[in-house]
Amino acid sequence: MPNTILLPLLADGEFHSGQDLAAALGISRTAIWKQLNKLKGLGLEIESVKGRGYRIPDGIDLIDEAKVRAKMTAIGLSLLKELSIQELTDSTNMEALRRVEEGARSGLVCTAEQQTAGRGRRGREWISPFGRNLYVSTVWEFSQGAAALEGLSLAVGVAVARALTDLGLPEVQLKWPNDILYRGKKLGGVLLEMVGDASGQCQVVVGIGLNVAMPRSAADSIDQAWTDVSSMAEGGGAPGRNELLGSLLGQLLPLLAAFESDGFTPWLEPWQSLDAHAGKSVVLTTGNNKVAGIARGVDPRGALRLETSVGVESVFGGEISLRIVE
């Protein structure tokens, strides 16, 4: 059940009188007022001007399946089995995992206008304001268990980077193991979750969060430097969320379809070319343990190559934090 039936009418950013809105929806002015309060409860700004009506300043780009499909490649469309669009969910990864329990397999994509319990790596909260960013999770099935997934999160980062470049945006960088950066600030992230047999048939949920038009007020609790797509578009004209999602799925779905047979090998050099920390001094933190060294890219399994006083060792992802030494 949608939280509001009023939102599509106000999405254009233009003023609409209460009378016109009531007539269009066949409800009373009192019901319109209640719907407006629901919108405010979602964190949306509603501007009211006497004699002109109500509007959402600058409008809002709601996810529309037809618009997303129109921006996808033919091969991407052939691999997309279902695009589930929700107005509100706890997290798209959790929704995808629930769908897997119900029998969903490869090609299911879950997205939402807002998450109430969005998650990043290491259990961190993922800030998810309504209708401003992308929250998307894709289900794919693998037959060789966890061994077939080595390097997958890094390859997904490359796919995100290519999707952005295809839309004319400046080149981004990647931070091992899961972050997308622009000019050193966090633009997005990847979160993989697996269910099933760790050594056999399993399903993987590939979660991607991408800041598109993050309201400053919503980002007060973010504890690191961040940016969004609207800030990347020099001279304006940033792509909308439907364009972004279509381009992203056009890159992601073919990657997932080929990854079990091809592995990380085709993605190794592309990832290295976008490595934000190559040759830089970094500190890796796991719990209370810290290890300093120089980042030397990644190995064929997607592990970070860290040069220390005892040589170069491969460090695999997990509950690890990487920070550059200033």
CB 15 within 8 A of CB 55: yes
Rounded to an integer, the average pLDDT of 67-85 is 97
Rounded to an integer, the average pLDDT of 264-286 is 95
Q: What is the pLDDT of residue 271?
A: 98
- Single out the residue of 179, 199, 175, 198 nearest to residue 187, CA to CA: 179
Q: What is the pLDDT of residue 221?
A: 63
pLDDT tens, residue by residue, 172-211: 999 999 999 999 999 999 999 999 998 899 999 999 999 9
46-to-14, 15, 22, 53, 185 alpha-carbon distances in Å: 11, 10, 16, 10, 30
Residue 50, token pair as written in the block = 């006497």
Full 3-state SS string of 262-312: HCCHHHHHHHHHCECCCCCEEEEEECCEEEEEEEEEECCCCCEEEEECCEE
277-305: buried (b, 16+ CB within 10 Å) or exposed (e) per residue? Answer: bbeeebebeeeeeeeebbbbbbbeebbbb
Q: What is the pLDDT of residue 38?
A: 87
Residue 144 has pLDDT above 50, yes or no: yes
- Single out the residue of 141, 185, 183, 180 nearest to residue 157, CA to CA: 180
State the Cα–Cα distance between residues 217 and 231, nearest whole angstrom.
16
Question: In whole angstroms, what separates CA 67 from the centre of its chain?
Answer: 18
141-to-72, 97, 153, 235 alpha-carbon distances in Å: 21, 12, 15, 41
* N residues, the chain: 326
Signed CA dihedral, 171, 112, 117, 199: sign only: negative
Q: What is the pLDDT of residue 320?
A: 83
Rounded to an integer, the average pLDDT of 234-242 is 85
Residue 261 has pLDDT above 70, yes or no: yes
Listed range (37-41, 170-174, 223-227, 283-287) with the worst mean pLDDT: 223-227
Residues catalogued as catalytic:
121, 186, 323
Q: What is the pLDDT of residue 49?
A: 92
Q: What is the pLDDT of residue 127?
A: 74
Where residue 286 falls (left for φ over 0; alpha for ψ -120 to 50; beta otherwise) is beta
121-151: buried (b, 16+ CB within 10 Å) or exposed (e) per residue? Answer: beeeebbbbbbbbbbbbbbbbbeeebebbbb
- Residue 27 makes CB contacts below 8 A (sequence gap 6+) with none
Q: What number of CA atoms fall less than 13 Å from residue 224's CA on the CB side?
A: 15
pTM of the model: 0.90
For 225, other C-beta atoms within 10 Å of its C-beta total 10
Our CA angle for 201, 110, 227, nearest 5°, is 115
Q: What is the pLDDT of residue 218?
A: 60
Q: What is the pLDDT of residue 1?
A: 36
Which domains does the chain possess?
7-55 (1.10.10.10), 65-273 (3.30.930.10), 281-324 (2.30.30.100)
- Give the three-class secondary structure for 229: helix
Signed CA dihedral, 122, 176, 264, 298: sign only: negative
Residue 214 has pLDDT above 90, yes or no: no
- Single out the residue of 205, 204, 195, 199 nearest to residue 145, CA to CA: 199
61-79: buried (b, 16+ CB within 10 Å) or exposed (e) per residue? Answer: bbbbeebbbebbbeebeeb
State the Cα–Cα distance between residues 267 and 250, nearest whole angstrom.
16
